[in-house]
Homo-oligomer: A and B are copies of this chain.
Amino acid sequence: MIGVNVAVIGMGLIGGSLLRALASAGHWVIGYDLDPATRAMARTGAAQAPRESRWQVAPSIGDAVASVDLVVLAVPLTAVAPVLDEVAGAGYTGLVTDVVSVKQPVRDLVRRLRAGGLRLAGYVGGHPMAGRETAGFAAGDPGLFHGCAWVLCLDDETNLDDWLALARLFTGIGARVVPTTAEDHDRVVAAVSHVPHLLAAALATAVSDPLAATLAAGSFRDGTRVAASAPDLVAAMTGGNAGPVLDALDAVMDRLDEVRDALESDEPIPQIKVWAAPANAARTTWPKGWGAPRQIPARAQDLLALGDAGGWVTAVSADGRTVTCATPV
């Protein structure tokens, strides 16, 4: 694999971890963050890193993108448009990816900007499903993406070679790259990530009662853990994916209406048992293991079928014609 020159814009938990991971994997990496204190911390961190895995820190977006093959936007959704403006304004016209936790809004934004004259050789939406309970450059970890599911969107307008270049890069730092569309991504993360954050928040205020705070134990602790996430992050992820989150929330509320009816009936216990059984079956068989690695053609239709089946890419062949993948069993 040939080293890639990468600029990472935004050095929070994800950007800071990616900077370290790519540098450790032998790529030339340069980071930028709007916050001068974060830049200073990143410079100190680089100076303390082993010589072969050091990164650079740029004083501006223009300096960051001046001599790279790839720009990674590791900024919040609201910052994507102004940052892309600056990136383009500095004359960068290469490949761009992002790590924003919703994908249709970024794809639509890039479409609009391109229609308005933005020149970009390629854009591939990405989303590493990595933990977010801690934040900031200091919390970064070069191993954060090891074994992590990293969605790379394969939409109608996505160039397959761009997609494969990124899949090669991110599998190289240990990620399981999941091919899917922006639409499927947003629908699925609404159900398995965004709605869980809303349920946790809806539940957490129960401990305003001191007796309740004392009696609350494991089911409350786990059911509310992500309510400790910063409210602006929760608002950005759920509000930025409002349509799919509404659908997923309605599905959960329909299930709650069912159990509400059961609770109001004359014989709640047998009814609730029937209601709870499929959930128990789903949860006790999750997460699944996976089968032996196999090769499939590196074609969009095969990759999307792999993603639909819950599978992921673990390597891209040198000639870019096949990928190594795994599927749950």
Contacts and interface: CB of A to CB of B under 8 A. Distances in A.
Nearest to A189: B215
A48 interface: no
A5 interface: no
Interface string A24-37: 00000000000000
Interface in A183-201: 184-185, 188-189, 191-193, 195-201
Contacts of A208: 282
Nearest to A184: B211
A139 interface: no
B203 A199 contact: yes
Given A184-B211, A217-B131, A288-B213, A263 B245 contact: yes
Contact of A201 (B195, B218, B236, B276): B276
Interface in A264-280: 264, 268-280
B191 A206 contact: yes
A6 B278 CA distance: 40
B255 A253 contact: no
Interface in A116-139: 129, 131, 133
A320 to B, nearest CB: 24
Given A178-B211, A214-B310, A253-B256, A220 B196 contact: yes
A229 B280 contact: yes
Interface in A206-264: 206-220, 222-232, 234-236, 238-240, 242, 245-246, 248-253, 255-256, 259-260, 262-264
A253 B255 CA distance: 11
A249 B255 contact: no
A68 B129 CA distance: 57
**Which among A198, A209, A276, A288 has the highest number of chain B CB atoms within 10 Å?**
A276
Contact of A328 (B214, B228, B230, B239): B214
A204 to B, nearest CB: 4
B256 A129 contact: no
Contacts of A223: 196, 199-200, 222-223, 225-226
A151 interface: yes
A269 B238 CA distance: 8
A214 B192 CA distance: 10
A308 B191 CA distance: 37
A301 interface: no
A180 interface: yes
7 contacts: A188-B215, A191-B209, A198-B256, A213-B288, A213-B328, A228-B284, A249-B263
